[in-house]
Amino acid sequence: MSAIRPPAVAGMFYPAEPRQLAHDVRQLLAEARPFDLIPKALIVPHAGYIYSGAIAATAYATLKPIASRIRRVVLLGPTHRVAVHGLVLPGADAFETPLGQVMLDTAAAHAIAQLPQVGVSAQAHELEHSLEVQMPFLQSVLTDFTLLPLAVGMATPEEVAQVLEAVWGGDETLIVISSDLSHYLPYARAQRVDNETAQSILKLQQPIKHDQACGGTPISGLMLAAQRHQLTPHLLDLRNSGDTAGSQDRVVGYAAFAFTQAAEFTDGTKFSAEAKHVD
């Protein structure tokens, strides 16, 4: 009998009704500013869609031209409710959202389970939103893929990078890091802090501390891997909840990044350090 990880935050972070959810995600993707990039990895926020959905959509929209070739998504996000050591798998066969089920890559899960920093914790995944909120976007953009979800707790960037290296794959594998930026700072201060964090990511300067980004550890691990694989990061969007749907008194920061492999756009031209967008 298959073990299914059911949705935990449907109706809170995003709509629980399938048609409404599909409509909202399609609209967010349609309104996203287009960038002509071929990403190997993304960094995306994980708040409620009314707060960070538009920022996340900017990253996911870059997948449209390559969606048919992506067959596996390696998804890492921080734990918010359960303290764990290392990185933990859910011990499930599939993740479910109102849009349906996504099967997990059990072969890859078994392979990395041999690493000492990788464990299994259904409890850590049970109520964790950082991974779940990415699923409807992935289900809406990609056609046929498996998932390798890892909740990241007390780990080092090197331990994260080692796991990423083990499942790096080729063009068929996409890596997604789920993280918000600063939490509950006044608007102007949050802008300064988040801009500094964004610049550090663009320069691949790690570690990113947890007061800079709740997913600082997986971000730092990705940056280590990006250096080894000569990936180039691009900032796609940088805003906070004061820009989207919240008060400016205490805001949460959100950013979207794409990491590309070869120094080319989808049309084959070379790019500079600035991401190219299509007006």
Identify the pLDDT of residue 275: 54
Which residues 6+ apart lie within 8 Å of 7 measured at CB? 16, 96, 97, 98, 132
Least Cα distance to 168 among 122, 207, 226 occurs for 226
The b-or-e profile of 152-188 (16+ CB within 10 A means b, else e) is bbebebebbbbbbeebeeeeebbbbbbbbbbbebebe
**Structural domains in the chain, sorted by start:** 17-260 (3.40.830.10)
Helical (H) or strand (E) element with 197: helix 187-202
Whether this model's pTM surpasses 0.85: yes
**Region of residue 86 (phi > 0: left; psi between -120 and 50: alpha; otherwise: beta):** left
Which tokens in the block code for residue 7?
Answer: 């949705």
Are 59 and 42 a contacting pair, CB within 8 Å? yes
Which tokens in the block code for residue 240?
Answer: 């906070």
Beta-bridge mates of residue 185 = 251
Identify the pLDDT of residue 262: 63
Identify the pLDDT of residue 246: 85
Identify the pLDDT of residue 263: 55
279 residues of the chain, pLDDT tens digit each: 569 999 999 999 999 999 999 999 999 999 999 999 999 999 999 999 999 999 999 999 999 999 999 999 999 999 998 999 999 999 999 999 999 999 999 999 999 999 999 999 999 999 999 999 999 999 999 999 999 999 999 999 999 999 999 999 999 999 999 999 999 999 999 999 999 999 999 999 989 999 999 999 999 999 999 999 999 999 999 999 999 998 999 999 999 999 998 654 445 444 444 455 544
